[in-house]
Amino acid sequence: MARACIFPGQGSQAVGMGRALAESFPQARAVFDEVDDALGQNLSQLMFEGPVEALTLTANAQPALMAASLATLRVLQAERGLDLARDVACVAGHSLGEYTALAAAGTFSIADTARLLRIRGEAMQAAVAPGQGAMAALIGPDAETARAIAAEAAQGEVCEVANDNGAGQVVLSGTKAAVERAVAIAQGRGVKRAVMLNVSAPFHCSLMAPAAEAMRAALAGVAMQAPVVPLYANVLAGPITDPATIRDALVAQVTGTVRWRESVAAMAEAGIDQFHEIGTGKVLSGLVKRIAPGATASAVGSPEDVAAFPTFG
């Protein structure tokens, strides 16, 4: 058996996230305190109590999701004896979850990860004026069909595949008019479902180029270590360990496609048959079960989940 730890992306945040862990385990509380100190903000209070409108803001949601995941991981290390270098074959994360995965594997410190994600969230939000960009989910088509729909809809504007999530779920991103055209084209072609998404910016498309440059500058000033296990990178759908390659992949990820389907398939092909989603929500676990039907996937985010987790050491 070979295990992977995977870490959720934006959209999994919810008011109350991490609160039960913080109340039950000092290791979790310590992570939340460290993130609060790094950001100079009582982010943990916002996570525990809301309001949801503030938690959903990209600049808050990204470090909050990271904090919840790493708090969970620290508890698993203390309570269940989990050692990533010994017990896990690789890590991966969806979009911002890639930063969480790298922090879990020792590439970044928790404080640096929190600050990087704050910069990333603010830069992504500022890259496109409100109302100018949009995203849409297509349910049913494969990535190639979605790419063809996006290309037809672009008409000189931007419409690109942002996420190939697998299980017939592809997300498009770009200028508002082009994405709306893509939805109409998809509906006309019998795509099972094509809907505009309620998002604050058009993530993972070329409109995010200013945010990519902001991250290039931010990452250049942060200490990086080789991860203790390989990272399956979003834009490469394959394993990397070299810090310079990781830095380039994180910059490319801002404008590039999150190749989650291919990443999970590559991990399964490499022999990974157990996936543990660490943190808030169960989105990635559900996708894994549909992409790699021979694998098991579980979500770990509560004290009860911790108690049910295998014991190592």
204 catalytic residue (yes or no): yes
Check if the beta carbon of residue 279 is closer than 8 Å to that of residue 68.
yes
Largest CA distance in the chain: 57
Residue in 12, 44, 69, 95 annotated catalytic: 95
Residues ≥6 apart with Cβ < 8 Å to 109: 103, 223
Residue in 69, 94, 204, 285 annotated catalytic: 204
Determine how many CB atoms are found less than 10 A away from the CB of residue 16: 12
Active site residues: 95, 204
